[in-house]
Structure 1
């Protein structure tokens, strides 16, 4: 069984990698992957705290699991919309560099 601290460390590592990816990359797909890492880290955190609550108090509380499912659904919808926007930008600019995408203004 995975310990509570291990899950929290893994969640913090995923969150840090996601923040690093969002702040350092210029490619839109890399930024999207970073956002997905951040969302997965928060889902893992919800599951970890829910599991810890069940182990410690013996209470069957599924709130963390439900929130993690909502986060996964939100991440999937966000990825579909973002990839659609990236395809439209790529058709127009032949590149998905974020710094060049601001040229699509009026």
Structure 2
């Protein structure tokens, strides 16, 4: 399989995520767009790992560069990104829910900046 297809799909997913972050006003939808961008990065990591492993056939090197080894470095990095995304969702949703309890809205445009807050 050509690696061009997953790269194009990942670029489209990342582009949709960037569009979602720029255009959305709802904080929960912005968090979902960030998750979409992180999933695009996961797809790129795994695809690059497969492409590099297939290109290194017959090349002597370290254990991480051996295409016959069972450990996939792209999959390991993708697992770290998934863990990071889970932590981001937990913290982000906690912040959004607390803000909703205080202000009864989750629109990003209505969030006052630090220098605009007046008590």
TM-score w.r.t. structure 1 length? 0.90
Runs of 4 or more, structure 1, over 2 Å off, are 103-106
The corresponding residue for 1:99 is 109
Larger radius of gyration: 2
Query: How much does 1:103 deviate?
Result: 6.3
1:57-76 → structure 2 map (5 Å cutoff): 57-58=56-57, 59=67, 60=69, 62-76=72-86
TM-score w.r.t. structure 2 length? 0.81
The corresponding residue for 1:4 is 3
1:47 aligns with 2:57: no
Give the count of matched residue pairs.
Answer: 105
Give the unaligned 5+ runs of structure 2: 58-66
Distance 1:97 1:84 in 2: 15
Alpha-carbon RMSD across the aligned residues, in angstroms, is 1.7
Give the unaligned 5+ runs of structure 1: none
Distance 2:38 2:81 in 1: 7
